[in-house]
Structure 1
Amino acid sequence: MFQIRNEEERDYPIVEEITRKAFYNMYIPGCVEHYLVHIMRGHEDFIPELDFVAELDGRVIGNIMYTKSRLADEQGEEKSILTFGSVSILPEHQRKWTYSDSPVMAVSEEEACRYDDGLEKMEKRKQPSQEEFYILSHSFVE
């Protein structure tokens, strides 16, 4: 069974190892994201209430964390926002679900259309970027 719950202290080493496995050699040789996860929890901007793990059959397979952030414009005006990350899934569980398949985020197409009916009309059409996104999100090397 799949479930999402708040991270607990006993999950810390598991989440750090998942993050390490998820990012290792992804963008640079090795990775530092697992250390970022380790130090984020002690930062004043960390939001423990928005620190979640994903479990599959009782085993933690992923996580997402949130922090408070500030966004500044060219005039120096700041706005408080949320930033998410790290987001990590064990490599063997990556690319297994799509958003619509997610047991947590299931969206009814009918409900989405009814919601859109109250908004400004926009034309749905194919874009070249959609093909590129599809290729990138469905390709992998084993």
Structure 2
Amino acid sequence: MTDIEQKKIFAKNLLTLLEKNGKTQREVADSISVSPQTFNTWCQGIALPRMGKIQKLADYFNVDKTFLIDPEPLSEASDAPYYLNDETRQIAQEAFENPELRTLFHVARDIPPERLKAHIEFMKSLKAQEKDDPDEPC
């Protein structure tokens, strides 16, 4: 694949993610610490970001970086929202955009396995409580 083809694929996939997530170029550029001009060159297929910025974009949109560089259109699975409930989706997005809470989305990267298992068990117990009595606060 030529460099020009790769730039076009990346630009198309990036624009698709922007549209699907209702984000502007400036919003995302600010979030990943690049200038709006640089971000725009990516969207126009003029330049490709380095892999570190591709990873930041993937993290921002909560997708695998292959979604940005893959020549195939984004799969149908990516069309479906991760959160099924609109209110849950909005709360999760707000938490992700809050720098103090964003670490919740990355907790599994370097957490020891026993702590990760404890977190999972805690989440399961909350879910079980919800099924037993949805009106009872956790």
Q: TM-score, normalised by structure 1?
A: 0.29
Q: Which has the higher strand share?
A: 1
